[in-house]
């Protein structure tokens, strides 16, 4: 599974590069769960990242 290729919805960078707090939280989560990472877990992470991005957008505007 290409968890390294996850793109952050908040900063549009690779999550693994950790450019923003959302990236770093997701990367840490991935690292802790990499042993039992499944497609469903990946989708759940993506959903969390998108929710965080929406929340961040609300704060910015």
Closest approach of Zn ion to the CB of residue 14, in Å: 9
Packing angle, helices 21-33 and 39-60, rounded to 10 = 160
Q: Kindly tell me which residue out of 6, 23, 30, 45 binds Zn ion, with binding defined by CB under 5 A.
A: 23
Q: Total number of residues binding Zn ion (CB under 5 A)?
A: 7
For residue 52, the tally of other CB atoms under 10 A from its CB is 18
* DSSP 8-state secondary structure symbol assigned to residue 13: S
Residue 48 three-state SS: helix
Q: Kindly tell me which residue out of 2, 6, 7, 11 binds Zn ion, with binding defined by CB under 5 A.
A: 11
- The interface region with Zn ion, picked from 16-24, 33-41, 50-58 by CB under 5 A, is 16-24
């Amino acid at each position: 599974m290409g968890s390294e290729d996850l793109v952050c919805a908040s900063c549009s960078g690779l999550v693994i590069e950790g450019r923003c707090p959302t990236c770093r939280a997701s990367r840490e989560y991935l690292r802790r769960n990499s042993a039992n990472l499944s497609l469903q877990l990946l989708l759940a992470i993506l959903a969390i990242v998108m929710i965080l991005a929406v929340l961040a957008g609300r704060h910015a505007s």
